[in-house]
Each structure stands twice: as structure tokens, then as C-alpha cells.
Amino acid sequence: MFKARLIGELRKRQAGLLALCSRLVQIPSENPPGDTSVLASFIKEYLASRRIPVEWHEPVAGRPNLVATLGSGSPNLVLSGHLDEFPAGPGWTRPPFSGAIEEERVWGRGAGDMKAGLAVALTIASLVRELEVPLAGRLTLAFASDEETGGAWGTQWLLANVAAVRGDACLIGESSGTWSAGIGEKGVLWLRLRASGVSGHAAYQQGTSAIAAIRAAVAAVEGLHGRRGKADKAVTAVIAAQRRAAERRWGRGTGRLADTMAVSVGTLQGGGQVNLIPAAAMAEVDLRVPPGLTTEAIEREARRRIAQVTRGKVEVDVFNLCDPYVTPPDSRLVRLVLANAKEITRRTVLPVVRLGYTDGRFFRRAGIPTVVYGPAVYNMGGPDEYIETADLLDVAVVHAGAVADMLAPEGV
């Protein structure tokens, strides 16, 4: 059977999987600045050496996207991943791009976000090619730049311009933890608030404070925090089931966030010196929108609240938005990922609505059932990022099982 052969070969070559993940970590692809050319070139050569042709799409200089396809016809299963990663930053106790495999861990910036997922997809595609099983459909690799800064020139661009990326299902090896499979994500709405005032000496109070206007606007938006969504019964059941596990895995208080609004002020600027009434101020606000609400409705309500308390003194701009999208929990790919985790790794995996977002939101927005299943990442975005090697292997075999179940010819 193709599935048994694929998983068997994967287990035999787990050292190669770990070495590939390590090598990918050793190639910096920090965003900003966002240049992923060196990493993309390595991956292109890796696939070409395994007789897998690769398309190179570069809508913005230095931010290439790679697409490779095996097989033909339908269904088309897309293995999506992103090439860029957070900047390394300070505070590391070991070199941030060492890719060291020590203490049963792979260390380095991007190890979990998401060089591990790239290594899994590359290894599976290579084995599918090597085993030369005629697929009952297509396996497409879609590796994008620009994920960390919004995806406009990455996955969004690919979905709009490359037909092969608009598949029948999408599997992403982004960090999730092997206990959960992300079948949905909260929406995001980023608002930039700007206020203008009139400067004047603070002692005489003859100016108009822009900061006062911004404070009032921020307070008005913060009033949306905690608003609940009204999702359908299937999604509500998923969220209810994940609450207790989320508290254990994601931290205290996270269990109630999947179906409620979360509002956070990310930046706040204003004024020039302490004894002058400020003439300009700005704030940026992050709103996470639960299933059952829309960014359009929340934006409209935020604007109404701001106008009410500032009387038009604050301008509002939207600089990032995407509605919440959830793949139906009974979708074929969801069932396959959960079943393979149970069968192969003996894990009961919970489908969850993620609090943060991935490129999966763009696939779901396009109507493509999407699952995010990857290793847990420790210290993501901070110093000494790492994943556990056992997690990486478990994710790889679950992905391989799902690929085989979806694309293996009948009887093979």
C-alpha cells in the first residue's frame, strides 16, 4: 500500500528530515527586511535535484514565491508554507541560525515558524516523487514570502495569479502543537487612529489636545472588547470543546477568547515635550474578531463610537483586515488529519479555532478547506526558539498519511 510505503520510508529517513529542517534554519529569511531569495534558491535546487520542477514567481524584488506540482487532475491538495520569519532579535544563548540538533530539539529562529513545516512538505513531495506512484490527483507545494508582514505579495498574490494554488484542500505545517488542528482562525481588523489639535503652552491651557482625542477614541474602541460572536452550531461545538485544552496549552484566560472580541492598543504616539499641548497623536489598535461577527460590522461600530465621542476630530484608517473563517469540521481533510493522528501517533487531536492567524485565512476565504497542523514551537518570536524532534516526526507522518489517503490511487 502506498500509505504504508510512504510512512515507512519517512520513518527510515527521519535523520534526513531533521537535517533538512536544520539546514533551512541556517538560512536566514528575516522579515523585515523580507528578502527570502537565498532560501528560495536553496529550495528550488533541492526540488530540482529530485526531478520536481519549480515555478519561481517574484511579484516584488527579493520576495519570491515557489510553486511545484506532482500529478494531474483532481483533487489538488496544496501543502502551503511561508519562507519568511521573524527577525532574530537580541538575547539568544546560542547562535540564532545554528539549526543545532541538541537535547532532542532543533534550535534557531524560524525552527517552528515555519522551517519545520517546509521540511515536512519538501520531504513528503520528494518521497512521493521517488516512489513513483501515479497519484489520483495533484500534490502542489505553495511556498510564499511576505507572510509575516501581511501576505499581499505572498499567498494572496499566489491565489490571485497561479491557478495551481487554488486547490481542493490545503494543509499547512505552521506551528499548532500536535494536540490541535487549526480548522479556523479569528478575523483581524487593524485600525490606525489619527487626531489633530492645536498646540499651546500647557500652563495657559489655550490649545486643543490631540492626545485627549486619541484617548477618547481608544476608550470607545476598547468598549468592543469581550463582544461575543454567534457562530453556527458546528463551530460553537468546536470552540466549546477546545476551551479547557486551550487554558492548559495557550495560557490562562485563553479558553474564552475564541468566541469573543479581543481589543489591544499596539502603538501610541503623540506630543513633543511635556509643557506643550500636543497638536498631533496617533494610535494603532488590533481587534480580533470571532466567528459569527464580521470585520465590516465591527469597523462600522468602531467608527460610530469614535465619531460619537470625538465629534469627527479623529480620522480612522483600516490597514489590515480579514474576516474569521472556519473550515467545516466534517470536511474530508479535517477528518483525514484527525484520523491519521489517531491511527499513527495514537493522539486524539482537537479541531480548534486559532486565536492568531496564518496564511490559512486566505485559502479559507477562497472557499478552500484548510487545516493547520504543525509542531509546537517554543519561544516563538523570542530568543532561543526551538521545536522538539519527536513533534517534527509526528507531524510529518500525519501529513504523509493525509496526503496518501487523499491522493493514492484506488487499490495502491
The pairing of beta strand 276-277 with beta strand 200-201: antiparallel
Are 149 and 13 in a shared domain? yes
Q: Which uninterrupted H or E stretch holds 246?
A: helix 233-249
Confidence (pLDDT) at 29: 98
CATH value at residue 300: 3.30.70.360
Domain closes at, from 305, 322, 339 = 322
> 204 vs 211, 277, 281, CA distance in Å?
17, 10, 20
Confidence (pLDDT) at 412: 61
Q: What is the pLDDT of residues 334-378, one digit of tens each?
A: 999 999 999 999 999 999 999 999 999 999 999 999 999 999 999
Residues of the chain with pLDDT under 70: 410-412
Q: Is residue 205 part of a domain?
A: yes
Residue 407: count of CB within 10 angstroms of its CB = 21
Q: What is the pLDDT of residues 249-305, one digit of tens each?
A: 888 888 889 999 999 999 999 999 999 999 999 999 999 999 999 999 999 999 999
E strand residue ranges, 11-54: none
Q: Is residue 249 part of a domain?
A: no
Are 97 and 163 in a shared domain? yes
- Of 127, 134, 137, nearest to 72 by C-alpha is 137
Are 45 and 176 in a shared domain? yes
Confidence (pLDDT) at 411: 54
Confidence (pLDDT) at 312: 87
- Of 202, 200, 157, 188, nearest to 55 by C-alpha is 157
Are 137 and 172 in a shared domain? yes
pTM above 0.85, yes or no: yes
Are 128 and 181 in a shared domain? yes
Q: Is residue 139 part of a domain?
A: yes
CA distance 133 to 154: 31
Q: Is residue 251 part of a domain?
A: no
Q: What is the CA radius of gyration of the chain?
A: 23
Confidence (pLDDT) at 149: 87
Mean pLDDT (the chain, rounded): 95
Q: Is residue 231 part of a domain?
A: no
Are 155 and 193 in a shared domain? no
Supply angle C-alpha 282, 265, 277, rounded to 5. 35
- Of 260, 335, 264, nearest to 292 by C-alpha is 260
**Tally of domains in the chain:** 2
Are 192 and 220 in a shared domain? yes
* Domain, as residue range, for 118: 2-185+325-407
Bridge partners of 285, per DSSP, are 191, 265
For the record, the C-alpha cell of 81 comes out as 508554507
**Count of alpha carbons within 13 Å of 383, Cβ hemisphere only?**
7
